[in-house]
Every structure is written in structure tokens, then in C-alpha cells.
Amino acid sequence: MSELLIRGRVLTFVSEPQGIDDAASYRYIEDGAVFVRNGKVVEIGSYGDIRKRAGANADVADHRPNLVLPGLIDTHLHFPQTQAIASYGAQLLEWLNTYIFVEEQKFAGAAHAAEVADRFMDELLSNGTTTAVAYCSVHPESVDAYFAAAEARGMCVIGGKVMMDRNAPEALRDTPQRGYDETKRLIEKWHGRGRSHYAISPRFAITSTPEQMEMSQALVAEHPSCYVQTHLSENRDEIAFATSLYPEAKDYTDIYARYGLLNDRTLLGHCIHMSEREISVLAETGAVGVFCPTSNLFLGSGLFNAAEFDRLGARWSVATDVGAGTSFSMLETMDEAYKVLHLQGQRLTPFNSFYRMTRGNALALGLEKQIGSLQAGADADIVVLDSSAKSAMEFRMRTATSLAEELFILQTMGDDRCVREVYVAGKAMKTKRKSADTIAREQLQLA
């Protein structure tokens, strides 16, 4: 039996914050501790109380004065695009054709997929992200690499092979039957193994024929515990193209509805240019719109309307969308989310931002018992955040007078440098990793 006390300023959410300081929505313990036994949270409380309850041999990780929160959750990104971030000058369809469909061809090689998967998981952890929902490439080897890299680290992840059978280079196309067979094999291999979950992943309506959509429908019907992920209404040219390919559909959302792809385990990337009817369909089916602010700004796609989702009772989550997203950091992502909503006269409060990155995203995945909070029985996925990690932050923090203000500074000025430690199922993952500087120095010496 291993016991660990993670000491610091503990913060975890119990419900969605309403207003600027909804104290009922969170628990904050100034000199607190998370009591971890065998990778699970036993309880949180004051350090004094928890110290008495734990065994005399329990290890103590003292992170004072830093904040201790549940690990961050990223609900949409593309692992094969790790090396294609910051590809210049194009909107969605041109960007896919010019950069992404070239990059993803490299994942036919298992060695390349394994190397990038390792780097991808380490990048997530460096940024305090302990759970990710990712697209792999069309190659089954890329899915094996993705789940193997997560499993080696003990991480809870969701992912799947993209299915594409048209409007993509031949090397990246499968067929309806191959997409079905390969997905089925990967579900059998990975779904429910350890902390891995499978997402059935037709990339978007443009790259799947009606026959492939039917096969996706069959997969969803045969595997109701799997997630479904695809893209919806990101860019105006994309919408025009998608709806022209499915003239019988009422609108873009209706394409997915017709093929039975919308349910409460469906994650729909972007959802920017949506009618009231379409958002209402998401509300009725429980499908989640995924807000990817850095990506939406980078590709010039548009502004996600969170208030409209709330008004119509539709669910939404937040995500980086690397490689159209420009950072692995959920802090930087929420900084941009704040600005995107601000441009539309909407206000994302600091508590709501931190709720969204943790419990909110866990709820979107239906994994709120396991991740996203520090409640008893949860997996001990934990991030330690330093609000004074950069000199400008330290100077700004001297004038902060409330927790909400501190969180806003963290989100607005913070990045991976603020992540002092990250625990996956109670195991410290950051401090034992080589820094990027060390890796670079080693490579120079080898060259």
C-alpha cells in the first residue's frame, strides 16, 4: 500500500460556478492536502487533519505555496499534428491540404508514430494535462502508438483512428470496409483496457462518403460505450462543401444526425457557425460542442458562441485542437477563450475557466467520477500550479487580493512554466522528466 500527501493550496470544483465568486461551487483549502492511496484520492482536507488520518509512513510532497488542482483535460486535439503546429497562412481547407495531409502521411511508419506519441504525451504532461481526447492518423499503427504511450505513463486517454475515404490524398484514404474493420479491431484491442477509451472518428463529412458514414453508424450502434468524435461547422467554405456533398441534409448538423452519430458521447469540434436549430439538436441529443479558441483564431475560423449554447441548453467543452491550436497549454487556451467570448460581449469568469478545464471537461466526457475533481475515489491525476512562475507574474501577483484574481493572472499570463508538478494516478511525472534543454544539449553533443 502506498500513501502520499500532496500538500498545498487545494482547489477543486463541485459544480459550475455562477457569477464572479460563487463560493458554493468549489472547495478551497489554504493549507490543504490531498490524501492519495494506491493512485486514488482518499480525501482532501486541512493538512493537519489529513496528516493525522494517514499512516506514519505516508510520503509528503510539500508544494506550498502553490495551488493543487485536478489534472487538466483537453477534449480535442490531433496527435499526428504535433510537429505541424504553426503552419503559416491558410484557412481550414487549404491548411489541411497544404500541411496536414502531408504531415499525417508520415504516420504510416510505426517508428515515427511511436516517437511522436511519446513526445506528445510528455508535452501534455508538461502542460499539466493528464487526460486528452485525440485523433490519430488513418493508420492503425498510429493508434497503437498513441495508446501505448499513454499506457506507459498510466494516463487516462481517449482516441481513435480517423476514417477518410475521399477528398484526401490516396495514402491517407481507407475504404468504408477497411475503416470499419480497422476501427473494430482497435476497439477490441484498446477500449476499456486500463485507462484507455476508444473514439469512433470519421474525420468530417467532407472526407467520408455516405457509405463510410453508414459504416460509422454501424460502429456506433455496435459499440455504444465508445465515444464519437468529428468536426462540425468550423469554417464557411467547409460548411458549403460539406452540405453540397449531402444535399438531402437540412444543414451540416443534420448530416451527422441522419447517420446516428449524435449522442451524449459525441464530441463535435468547433461548432462555430451554427443556427439555433442546429444547436438545439445538440441539446436534444446531448452531443458536446468543443470550443477550440486558439485554433479558431489561428485559422481565422470564427468565434464560438458559448452564451448561445448555454441559452439553448447545449453542452460544450474546451480544447486546444493542436496542431491548428497553437499551444498545448490549457492555461493559454483559456486566455484565448476569454478573449473570444469578450469580443462577443460575453464574460468567462476565472472560476468558470478553471472549472471548464477540470470538472466541466470531465462531465463532457462522462468521466466526472474518475477525473476532473479531487473527490473521494477519483484517480489522483493532479496538477500543481505556480502563479508566480515568471518574473512578470510574480510582480503582478504582489497586488492580487483574491483567489479569483490569482486564477485570472494564471490564465492570462501563465503557460507550462507554471506547472511545477503533475501527478498521474498519484505518480509524479514532471520533475523526473528530462527538460527540453537537456534533450537539446544531448542532441548537440551527439551531432
With CB under 5 A as the rule, give the number of residues binding Zn ion: 2
Residue 140 preceded by cis peptide, ω within 30: no
Supply the minimum distance, in Å, between the C-beta of residue 140 and Zn ion.
Answer: 20
- Is the CB of 269 or the CB of 289 nearer to Zn ion? 269
- Is the CB of 206 or the CB of 374 nearer to ligand GUN? 206
Supply the minimum distance, in Å, between the C-beta of residue 76 and Zn ion.
Answer: 6
For residue 239, what is the enclosing H or E element? helix 236-245
Which of 71, 77, 69 lies closest to 294 in space, CA to CA?
A: 77
Residue ranges in contact with ligand GUN by CB under 6 A: 78, 92, 96, 100, 203-204, 231, 234, 295, 321, 324
Supply the minimum distance, in Å, between the C-beta of residue 309 and ligand GUN.
Answer: 19
Cα dihedral angle (295, 299, 300, 304), rounded to 10 degrees? Answer: -30
Q: Which of residues 289-328 bind Zn ion (CB under 5 A)?
A: 321
Residue 348: contacted member of Zn ion, ligand GUN, none (CB under 5 to 8 Å, by partner type): none
Supply the minimum distance, in Å, between the C-beta of residue 234 and ligand GUN.
Answer: 5
Supply the minimum distance, in Å, between the C-beta of residue 78 and Zn ion.
Answer: 6
Supply the minimum distance, in Å, between the C-beta of residue 118 and Zn ion.
Answer: 21
Strand partners, 46: 32
Residue 203: contacted member of ligand GUN, Zn ion, none (CB under 5 to 8 Å, by partner type): ligand GUN
Supply the minimum distance, in Å, between the C-beta of residue 261 and Zn ion.
Answer: 16
> What are the grid coordinates assigned to 292, written together?
477550440
- Is the CB of 133 or the CB of 403 nearer to Zn ion? 133
- Is the CB of 3 or the CB of 321 nearer to ligand GUN? 321
* DSSP annotation of 357: I
C-alpha span between 305 and 302 (Å, rounded): 10
User: Which residue is listed with cell 468530417?
Assistant: 204
Verify binding: residue 80, Zn ion, rule CB under 5 A. Answer: no
Which of 130, 127, 153, 26 lies closest to 71 in space, CA to CA?
A: 130
The site string for Zn ion over 89-118 (x = CB under 5 A, - otherwise) reads ------------------------------
- Is the CB of 321 or the CB of 406 nearer to ligand GUN? 321
C-alpha span between 79 and 218 (Å, rounded): 26
The site string for Zn ion over 250-289 (x = CB under 5 A, - otherwise) reads -------------------x--------------------
Q: In the Cβ-directed half-sphere of 116, how many Cα atoms lie within 13 Å?
A: 25
- Is the CB of 176 or the CB of 323 nearer to Zn ion? 323
- In sequence order, which residues have a C-beta less than 8 Å from that of residue 398 and are 6 or more positions away? none
Q: How big is the chain, counted in residues? A: 447
Which of 270, 180, 161 lies closest to 222 in space, CA to CA?
A: 180
DSSP string of 201-215?
EE--GGGS-HHHHHH
- Is the CB of 294 or the CB of 305 nearer to Zn ion? 294
Q: Nearest-CB residue to Zn ion?
A: 269
> What are the grid coordinates assigned to 357, written together?
478545464
Supply the minimum distance, in Å, between the C-beta of residue 134 and Zn ion.
Answer: 9
Residue 304: contacted member of ligand GUN, Zn ion, none (CB under 5 to 8 Å, by partner type): none
- Is the CB of 103 or the CB of 406 nearer to ligand GUN? 103
- Is the CB of 78 or the CB of 315 nearer to ligand GUN? 78
CA–CA distances in Å: residue 161 to residues 156, 318, 358: 17, 21, 25
Supply the minimum distance, in Å, between the C-beta of residue 231 and ligand GUN.
Answer: 4
Which of 325, 259, 258 lies closest to 290 in space, CA to CA?
A: 325
Amino acid sitting at position 117:
A
| Three-state secondary structure call for residue 144 | helix
Residue 100: contacted member of Zn ion, ligand GUN, none (CB under 5 to 8 Å, by partner type): ligand GUN
Residues of the shown chain interacting with Zn ion in the complex, contacts defined by CB under 5 A: 269, 321
